[in-house]
Amino acid sequence: MIKFKSALAIALSLAISVGTAVPSMAARVYDADKNAWVEASTMASRSRGGSAIRKEIVDYQTSYKPGTIVIETGERRLYLVLEGGKAMKYGVGVGRDGFTWSGTHRITRKAEWPGWTPPPQMRKRVPDLPAYMPGGPDNPLGARALYIGSTLYRVHGTSEPRSIGLAVSSGCIRLTNEDVADLYDRVSVGAQIVVNH
């Protein structure tokens, strides 16, 4: 009977820990500074988890239709075109020297807490990378990912919010987890994405 109670206690504690490891994705985000899941609304009023760049609505005259994503790599900003000559502007991290690119594509897929399969070229450069990493707060793709056409690139969150505004990626566009969740909710599969140098 004691062995059964011990096994039951272990099973319950595992179930509880597994249950708390997967939060309600709509209402909670991972705070890397606290190493914990927190309510998304509390992150909005804080220091952006290490990024000083805040999203904001700005004047933005363009011929692109609302819903289009425009990434200005040199400026390290992403603009989501809105109605009435406005855009939501986000700070982003971009590709480092030798990994920048430009072009016009479509968003072909969206994923919450996506798993990551490093491409063969990346695994050749960094041999100790895993073949696959499940989604979660330690995953390099962060809370959300928007897949860009048939390219290997994505607009995604990051577990390294201090990299926003820097050129450090292998070509993907990074936002804070808070900002990528906001963008994810505003963008549809099929939306146009324009990446400028």
Q: Which residue of the set 87, 141, 164, 172 is catalytic?
A: 172
* 57 carries an active-site annotation: no
The DSSP secondary structure of 66-123, one letter per residue, reads TT-EEEETTTTEEEEE-STTEEEEEE-BEEPTT----EEEEEEEEEES--B---HHHH
CA nearest to 31, candidates 17, 45, 19, 13: 45
Q: Which residue of the set 55, 77, 156, 174 is catalytic?
A: 156
Token pair for 93:
């991290």
* 172 carries an active-site annotation: yes
Strand 69-72's sheet: what is its strand order? 56-59, 86-91, 77-81, 69-72, 192-196, 103-112, 144-148, 154-156, 173-174
Query: Active-site residue numbers?
Result: 156, 172
